[in-house]
């Protein structure tokens, strides 16, 4: 989905700046460094489960890549509800934070969801300030959903019925990551280099990781509850259903910008919200207008009712298929795979731009295309309504340069004060960029730091004498030029203290 570069840049970064104050509250240096995971009474609790095990560093017990999974009693499979905490992308935690303590908190809502028969997941994600973790954090969210499907039998999850409830930045994360497809491109400002304006030097990255772990599983959701969400043009018929929040008598501010998807509005009746076209982290105990009548209820009760409607019963809609490969450009030919959210779903597809239905060919094995092709596909699952059609456009043309090395995520270690050099390799790349450089060993505003090393934008060599120790995660991008699609890979670099420390 392509917008003007400056408009996309301005929209994303103004919202990030508005969230900095909330981030600062959650990143208070006086907060405890580690919150113990909270079990839910009566559930089978799987605590601090690593959903990206190849990215573990040992710092802070790798809290940022872990989730809690609370399984209700019974054989299952059960629908699954993923809670995503807020904090301005710079704070918060799955087991604590601004909206996660006491009666009416996110934790008490999770307890009620388990009691209602959901597998409840509360997850962490990489945190930093100013959106520097994007788009990696979107990729990681999708990988988390794939992890749950890869382990659906172990955790008694119905893989065809997974929803998310996000608060603040968590709502932005869950919605952006699940509304977008691999066809959609995220425009990223290149790191500042002498002599050019960052607003005019952008790289395009897919919203999904071309090297996604658990590649055999879908990352799509059935539905999302979100108070804060962006990019309304990404909400399309194949997107999850969205429940979002407004004041009484108001329509959502982005209602006219939707790409055709379904958005339901939950109206808050407290007079202080009257006419507000978007609400940000109201308490779950706030009064709202019932979604099924004129009576009054609460945010928590109505959101859980809406989730029941979307995730249980005979009116559930199947999740659209995903297409592979996730990189949509190819040189000569490419083999196409279609993946259903649930293994018992049947996929019907077309490659002639017609709309698929239950009479269209059934996907049984990969097929090869040799020209630009639009693949449309639906999932049909017993007991559910057929899905909307997913659309994947595979374009014949020069693909972005692929980052070939280093192949391992963990780079050779560096040491403070000693010269360090690491070359990255991508045939045909003329522009290199680095984003993130997040110190996973730190908390709060110390996390996004400059360790004292630089990536050369033309050679792809990371070098310098590091000035501070830490465990750094960052993303490397390579492209044939600005305003072109880039390849990207996530890496980890451990910087050891100086010899005399």
Q: What is the mean pLDDT of each run of 10 residues along the chain (501 residues)?
A: 39 43 40 70 96 80 87 96 90 68 71 97 83 82 97 98 95 90 81 52 85 94 92 89 93 84 93 92 93 89 96 92 94 97 98 97 98 98 96 94 92 94 94 84 62 90 92 90 88 89 63
Assigned domain for 250 exists: no
Assigned domain for 256 exists: no
pLDDT of residue 193: 53
The domain spanning residue 452 has which CATH number? Answer: 2.60.40.10
Assigned domain for 193 exists: yes
**DSSP category for residue 63:** G
Given a contact cutoff of 8 angstroms between Cβ atoms, the answer to whether 196 and 477 are in contact is: no
pLDDT of residue 499: 82
Strand partners, 472: 439, 493
Assigned domain for 289 exists: no
Count of beta carbons in the 10 Å neighbourhood of residue 69: 25
User: Residues 112, 150: one domain?
Assistant: yes
User: Residues 184, 98: one domain?
Assistant: yes
Of the three residues 186, 201, 220, the one that is the final residue of a domain is 220
User: Residues 62, 158: one domain?
Assistant: yes
User: Residues 63, 166: one domain?
Assistant: yes
Nearest Cα neighbor of 66 from 88, 90, 93 is 93
The domain spanning residue 198 has which CATH number? Answer: 3.40.50
User: Residues 377, 444: one domain?
Assistant: no
User: Residues 388, 487: one domain?
Assistant: no
Cβ burial, residue 102 (10 Å; 0-12/13-18/19+) = exposed
pLDDT of residue 473: 87
| Element containing residue 165 per DSSP (H, E) | strand 157-166
User: Residues 129, 54: one domain?
Assistant: yes
User: Residues 171, 188: one domain?
Assistant: yes
User: Residues 384, 477: one domain?
Assistant: no
Assigned domain for 57 exists: yes
Domain carrying residue 364: 322-396
Number of domains in the chain: 3
Of the three residues 396, 420, 436, the one that is the final residue of a domain is 396
Assigned domain for 239 exists: no
The domain spanning residue 344 has which CATH number? Answer: 2.60.40
User: Residues 467, 362: one domain?
Assistant: no
pLDDT of residue 206: 86
Given a contact cutoff of 8 angstroms between Cβ atoms, the answer to whether 57 and 440 are in contact is: yes
Of the three residues 220, 240, 268, the one that is the final residue of a domain is 220
User: Residues 326, 360: one domain?
Assistant: yes
Assigned domain for 368 exists: yes
Assigned domain for 273 exists: no
How distant, in Å, are the alpha carbons of 212, 307, 319, 397 from that of 155? Answer: 21, 20, 20, 42
pLDDT of residue 36: 82
Region for residue 353 given its phi and psi (left: phi exceeds 0; alpha: psi -120 to 50; beta: otherwise): left
User: Residues 440, 376: one domain?
Assistant: no
């Amino acid at each position: 989905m392509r917008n003007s570069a400056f408009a996309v840049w301005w929209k994303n970064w103004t919202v990030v700046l508005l969230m900095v104050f909330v981030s600062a509250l959650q990143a208070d240096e006086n907060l405890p460094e580690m919150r113990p995971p909270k079990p839910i009474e009566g559930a089978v609790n799987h605590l601090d489960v690593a959903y990206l095990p190849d990215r573990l560093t040992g710092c802070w017990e790798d809290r940022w890549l872990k989730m809690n999974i609370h399984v209700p009693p019974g054989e299952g499979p059960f629908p699954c509800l993923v809670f995503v905490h807020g904090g301005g992308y710079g704070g918060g935690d799955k087991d604590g934070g601004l909206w996660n303590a006491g009666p009416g908190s996110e934790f008490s809502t999770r307890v009620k969801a388990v009691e209602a028969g959901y597998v409840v997941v509360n997850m962490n994600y990489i945190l930093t300030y100013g959106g520097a973790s994007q788009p990696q954090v979107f990729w990681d969210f999708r990988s988390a959903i794939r992890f749950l499907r890869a382990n659906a039998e172990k955790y008694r999850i119905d893989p065809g019925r997974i929803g998310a409830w996000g608060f603040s930045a968590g709502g932005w994360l869950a919605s952006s990551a699940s509304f977008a497809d691999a066809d959609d491109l995220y425009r990223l400002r290149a790191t500042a280099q002498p002599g050019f304006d960052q607003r005019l030097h952008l790289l395009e990255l897919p919203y999904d990781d071309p090297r996604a772990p658990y590649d055999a599983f879908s990352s799509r959701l059935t539905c999302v509850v979100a108070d804060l969400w962006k990019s309304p043009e990404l909400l399309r018929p194949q997107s999850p259903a969205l429940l979002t929040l407004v004041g009484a008598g108001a329509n959502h501010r982005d209602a006219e910008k939707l790409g055709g998807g379904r958005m339901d509005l939950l109206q808050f009746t407290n007079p202080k919200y009257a006419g507000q076209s978007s609400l940000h982290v109201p308490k779950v105990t706030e009064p709202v207008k019932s979604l099924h009548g004129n009576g009054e209820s609460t945010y928590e009760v109505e959101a859980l009712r809406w989730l029941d409607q979307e995730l249980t019963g005979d009116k559930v809609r199947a999740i659209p298929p995903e297409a592979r490969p996730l990189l949509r450009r190819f040189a000569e030919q490419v083999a196409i795979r279609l993946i259903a959210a649930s293994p018992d779903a049947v996929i019907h597809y077309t490659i002639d731009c017609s709309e698929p239905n239950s009479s269209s060919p059934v996907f049984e094995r990969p097929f090869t295309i040799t020209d630009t092709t639009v693949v449309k596909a639906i999932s049909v699952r017993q007991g559910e309504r057929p899905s909307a059609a997913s659309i994947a456009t595979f374009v014949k043309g020069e693909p972005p340069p692929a980052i070939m090395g280093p192949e391992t995520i963990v780079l050779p270690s560096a040491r403070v004060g000693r010269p360090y050099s690491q070359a990255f390799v991508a045939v045909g790349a003329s522009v290199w960029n680095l984003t993130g450089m997040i110190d996973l060993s730190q908390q709060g505003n110390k996390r996004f730091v400059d360790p004292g090393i630089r990536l050369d934008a033309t050679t792809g060599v990371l070098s310098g004498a590091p000035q501070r120790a830490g465990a750094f995660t960052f993303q490397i991008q390579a492209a044939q030029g600005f305003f072109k699609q880039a390849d990207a890979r996530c890496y980890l670099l451990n910087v050891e203290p100086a010899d005399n420390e």
